[in-house]
A and B are shown apart, each in its own frame.
Chain A
Amino acid sequence: MSEAVVHEDHHEHHDHKPTGIGRWLFSTNHKDIGTMYLVFALIMFFIGGAMAMVIRLELFQPGLQYVDPLFFNSMTTMHALVMIFGAVMPAGVGLANWLIPMMIGAPDMALPRLNNMSFWILPFAFALLLGTLFMPGGAPNGGWTMYPPLTIQLGDAFPFLIFAVHFLGISSIMGAINVIATVFNMRAPGMTFMRLPLFVWTWIITAFLLIASMPVLAGAVTMMLTDKFFGTSFFSAAGGGDPVMFQHIFWFFGHPEVYILILPAFGIVSQILPTFSRKPLFGYESMVYATASIAFLSFFVWAHHMFTVGMPLAGELFFMYATMSIAVPTGVKIFNWVATMWRGSLTFETPMLFSLAFVILFSIGGFSGLMLAITPVDFQYHDTYFVVAHFHYVLVTGSVFALYAGVYYWLPKWTGHMYDETLGKWHFWISTISVNVLFFPQHFLGLAGMPRRIPDYAVQFADFNMVSSLGGFVFGVSQLLFVYIVIQCVRGGEKATNQVWEGAHGLEWTLPSPPPFHSFTTPPKVTDATAHS
């Protein structure tokens, strides 16, 4: 991109706000791109959710009623890929786009053109991926972890899967570069690093994780591609390769990926709890260091996903101890949140309710995570529904709940209208109850011996599966309420004030609601008093 083009671009924006389809297609505005990311994530959330409904419908009772096992495997594989890469990650990037410039006192993101590209790659990547559903031989069905040799058996869909993963990787790396470039170069005067809101901090760390781990995934799938079509043998034992090698490389990406999904959620909750407790965040510095150490440790724990492949004792012990040690900084974060609420003046608007549920339910996911870290017991838990319950507690009641909290929290700022609080609370209570009915019994199923990724099961697992499916259907349908609430809020409603929430602090709340097209055209002065409460 040449300098001239950049300048021309800026002029255009200063003059007037573009209209029509062109506004979205060629948008370089952080708010418009943020909105597109969020809408895209919501659409993907419903596509991935529809797949989950198919899974729960088939598992409603023993016997195969609706789909054949191969299609079932496609559903579990695609559900994971769509939810991780299509829903949760883009939603996080959407929030980052909307909020980071407003939080650090910048007019826009540092690299607006890159921002536009990184978004528009996504629909293409997902067209490639979802298109495989209509191919002979079906969509990818070897699990989202794509282990060879099973995934190499995949038919026509194989290259589409690989290239979709490449595109998704490129998109998120570009997004991450943009976040770091923005925060490093565009902070308002006085906005030192230790005055950054925690949401911004968690996103910087997430962005580094993305840049360090996504290329490794791209490398792993490229090796698999050349193994299948160009006669290399990275992962085939016949040519001197090793299928377990793929698992090592995959999880070297995969474990940081887990934190890519959850760290922005930590950031969101760290913004919301102080607001509704009317109290500053407890232990700001230790929050920053805890987040950084979680991210750092995440590169040394990958093999806990593969204890059962058969490692030497020393390896198993190392990865067990390293994994257990992550509980310490995670614990610090949870204790800090609880201490933030302690002796506060609490009110319970929808964002707060989702954040409270996040703290409790994410902790339950953390507890089962600690159990999974214990190697000898993991030999029992591994690849059972106990693991399914664990990561859904962390990702649904963790990441997704935090994203909901964030959307309710900032929606009045974005739209200029208050959402319907009563409906928001309904959405919260129905979701929270049904999500627990959905996932809690899965702990029991796993402990009782039900493996994951099976389309049919022995009759002793029938009762809990039925309960779980019922919870799943209610949870699935109740998310439509969220769409209704958002649309209603965009269209109108009670005018939101600039500060919106009584206890809200931070630069974004000094802007009008909705904020102007360019957030801060003249940088604000930040002092200790105006920084993160």
Chain B
Amino acid sequence: MFVKKLKDGVVGAVTMFSLLWAGTVSAEWGLNMTPGVTPISREVYDLHMLILYIVTAIGIIVFGVMFWSIIYHRKSKGAVAKQFHHNTFAEIAWTIIPILILVAMAIPATKTLIKMEQTGDAEITVKITGYQWKWKYDYLEDGLSFYSVLAQDSNEARQVGSSIDPAGVDHYLLDVDEPIVLPVGKKVRLLTTAADVIHAWWVPALGWKRDAIPGFINDNWAVIEEPGTYRGQCAELCGKDHGFMPIVLKAVPEAEYVAWVEEKKAEAAARAASGDKEYSMEELMVNGEDLYNKNCASCHMANGQGVPGVFPSLLESQLTITSEGLAEHIDRIINGKGLMPAFGEQLSDADIAAVVTYERNAWGIDTGDIVQPADIKAAR
């Protein structure tokens, strides 16, 4: 009976190892690290595989010897214990051999690490700033700047009890409204920092992740060799919506990149001009709902009720439900307070006008207040 159990155990272990083996060869099953699309990521992948093979080989040898004992040196087979407890040669050997193996691992690792630190001579520099819970990309040479948040369809589906099937959502939790766009074949320097807590920017296809720390700037680099869309996530716990601030990187050919930069610049100019327009209540409510869900709903929730003890309910705040609170309501959105982020730099006058109007008229609050971009401009 016991022997049978042991055999089962051995079979189990073998299955486990074959799984591990399968993991090393079939990336398409999502079992293994992917080689990525930069020279560095490929080196990192090769290093990973090298060490995986080495430890697998060591494991097979050590566990092999152990199972030999388990099978042949058992009392039930009449084995009598030898009473040795020392063997100087063996003890020296199994100290020296591991040291040699470790040195053999350390050499390629050191080489790769030195290459990873060569951040100079980049043609494009993008600063990545982590926020609770979104990313901001600043293209230092072109003066472009935009935020990137979880795509709206994922955001709706991921609410507790949304009853939307994630499988039906395009790239569930790995999609954003505005991807970071980079040209292929050029050396890009990526700086990381943060505005509130520590985040970590990670796109596996680039072969590294790097912490984004408030008050400090880190740098890294990439030369992306293949056009495509590469997805990643924040990798350092940063609070409630840590799992919901993905990264989407679009690598495009040079010409396409130049066109994208021009388009973005034109968009920014149009946004700056939007502050002079007058909007109707309906327009403000429609834009406001969209912006609210993107920027505010992760804390104050889609129904405005917040999270008791952490994020206040808008349905009970004097700022949103009384007309005396209006000025402070606008101020709170522009300048923030405590855990509430300052949105003044992130949202245009028209955006803030829409959010304020929405918050003062949604969920049965109905103050009837209509706030126009000009009011926001005056409040800044």
Contact = CB atoms under 8 A, between A and B. Distances in A.
A376 B43 contact: yes
Contact of B55 (A143, A310, A371, A460): A371
Interface in B69-85: 69-70, 73-76, 79-85
Interface stretch (A46-54, A61-69, A107-115, A251-259): A61-69
B243 A69 contact: yes
B213 A244 contact: yes
Nearest to A457: B173
Contacts of B143: none
B239 A153 contact: yes
Nearest to B241: A69
Contact of B65 (A331, A342, A356, A453): A342
A344 B80 CA distance: 6
Contacts of B157: 63
A346 interface: yes
B73 A341 contact: yes
B32 interface: yes
A342 B94 CA distance: 15
Contacts of A440: 16, 19
A343 B70 CA distance: 10
Nearest to B166: A62
A173 to B, nearest CB: 28
Contacts of B232: 449
B114 A313 contact: yes
- Size class of A's contact patch? 35 or more
A263 B113 CA distance: 32
Given A138-B310, A153-B339, A432-B9, A328 B95 contact: yes
Interface stretch (B194-202, B344-352, B366-374): B194-202
Interface in A271-325: 277-284, 286, 308-310, 313, 316-317, 320-321, 324-325
Contacts of A383: 200, 202, 209, 235-236
B112 A335 contact: no
A384 interface: yes
B198 A149 contact: yes
Interface string A225-260: 000000000000110001110000000000000000
A282 B215 CA distance: 53
Given A317-B110, A374-B51, A447 B216 contact: no
Contact of B113 (A277, A328, A376): A376
Given A310-B211, A344-B73, A371-B52, A73 B113 contact: no
A138 B79 contact: no
Contact of B207 (A62, A277, A332, A379): A379
Interface stretch (A359-367, A489-497, A521-529): A359-367
Nearest to A64: B160
B59 interface: yes
Contacts of A376: 43-44, 47, 109, 112-113, 116, 208
Interface string A407-436: 000000000000000000100010011001
A380 B73 contact: no
Contact of A283 (B69, B70, B91, B339): B91
Count chain A CB atoms within 10 A of each CB in B2, B65, B83, B94 and give the residue with the most: B94
A447 B32 contact: yes
Given A440-B19, A449-B232, A456 B158 contact: yes
A444 B85 contact: no
B166 A444 contact: no
A70 B198 contact: no
Interface in A40-94: 62-70, 73
A487 interface: no
A189 interface: no
A323 B375 CA distance: 59
B109 A377 contact: yes
A341 B172 contact: no
B272 interface: no
Interface stretch (B97-105, B253-261, B283-291, B316-324): B97-105
Contact of A308 (B85, B161, B197, B211): B211
B81 A459 contact: no
A384 B117 CA distance: 22
B238 interface: yes
A155 interface: yes
Contacts of A127: none
B237 interface: yes
A293 to B, nearest CB: 11
A149 B197 CA distance: 5
Contacts of B172: 62, 458-459
A339 B87 contact: yes
A346 B73 contact: yes
A447 to B, nearest CB: 4
Given A279-B83, A338-B65, A363-B59, A63 B31 contact: no
B81 A344 contact: yes
B75 A278 contact: yes
Interface string A131-169: 000011110011100010110010110000000000000
A308 B237 CA distance: 13
A218 B243 CA distance: 30
Nearest to B24: A447
A444 B160 contact: no
Contact of A451 (B8, B235, B308): B235
Given A149-B214, A444-B32, A73 B48 contact: no
A343 B9 contact: no
B197 A345 contact: no
B363 interface: no
A443 interface: yes
Interface in B169-228: 171-174, 196-198, 200, 202, 204, 207-211, 213-216, 218-219
Nearest to B51: A371
Nearest to B36: A380
Contacts of A64: 158-162
B44 A279 contact: no
A328 B98 contact: yes
A455 interface: yes
A488 interface: no
A334 interface: yes
A327 B81 contact: no
Contact of B102 (A143, A237, A328): A328
Given A149-B198, A376-B43, A155 B310 contact: yes
Nearest to B29: A444
A187 interface: no
Contacts of B31: 444, 447-448
Contact of B30 (A143, A324, A356, A460): A460
B234 interface: yes
Contacts of A384: 235
B213 A309 contact: yes
Contacts of B83: 279-280
A291 B259 CA distance: 62
B230 to A, nearest CB: 10
Contacts of B204: 380, 449
A347 interface: yes
Given A237-B215, A346-B75, A444 B23 contact: yes
B6 interface: yes
A62 B109 CA distance: 36
10 contacts: A63-B165, A68-B307, A278-B75, A282-B87, A316-B113, A331-B98, A332-B95, A340-B85, A344-B73, A379-B44
Interface of A: 62-70, 73, 135-138, 141-143, 147, 149-150, 153, 155-156, 237-238, 242-244, 277-284, 286, 308-310, 313, 316-317, 320-321, 324-325, 327-328, 331-332, 334-335, 338-348, 356, 359-360, 363-364, 367, 370-371, 374-377, 379-380, 382-384, 425, 429, 432-433, 436, 440, 443-444, 447-449, 451, 453-462, 464
Given A136-B308, A308-B211, 10 more contacts: A310-B213, A339-B90, A345-B81, A347-B75, A367-B59, A371-B55, A376-B112, A447-B23, A451-B202, A458-B172
3 shortest interchain CB distances as A-B pairs? A136-B309, A237-B215, A454-B243
